[in-house]
Amino acid sequence: MSRALWKRVAVPLSLLVTLLWIPAAHADPVAALVEALRQAAPNTDDPTLYTDWKMQEGAISRWTRRCVGVQVPPAELAENPVMTRETVTCVMGPVLVQQTSLAGGDEELGVRRAAAWWMTGDPEQYQSVAIASYLDRVLRHYRTLRTAP
């Protein structure tokens, strides 16, 4: 598919996928976490952060190479919400499993630890005052998504 055609199709396609996906988020903890991270992302115009998830350029390079199979430039990823969600899901799935396990199976503590990892790179920051409001927002969105009918 040509780049021009992809750009015309990607946004409507991504909206359709999002509309179809959101009702099912409650069934999948990883999908709920990924969406909660998006909804809780800092509201900033920082030009060094990309996508609705406010990802750093260095992370985008590593994660897209690992998860999509090719290194995608940040601006291109920002224009492709489907690929972005796929990348964040690929990264956060194992993180959530690991952090929930380290939390003794406590799902909400696992979410807080995973969100701390997402924000700081260190899951042990889950009790940090500096990111407490962000972690609270992630957990609030996660609970809503997990309990949605």
pLDDT digit of tens for each residue in the chain (149 aa)? 444 444 444 445 444 444 444 445 557 999 999 999 999 999 999 999 999 999 999 999 999 999 999 999 999 999 999 999 999 999 999 999 999 999 999 999 999 999 999 999 999 999 999 999 999 999 999 999 999 87
- Angstrom distances, CA of residue 39 to CA of 5, 8, 62, 69: 29, 25, 23, 26
Q: Is 110 left (phi over 0), alpha (psi -120 to 50) or beta?
A: alpha
Residue at token pair 């924000």:
119
Q: Which tokens go with 105? A: 């199976």
**Cα–Cα distance for residue pair 87/62, rounded to 1 Å:** 10
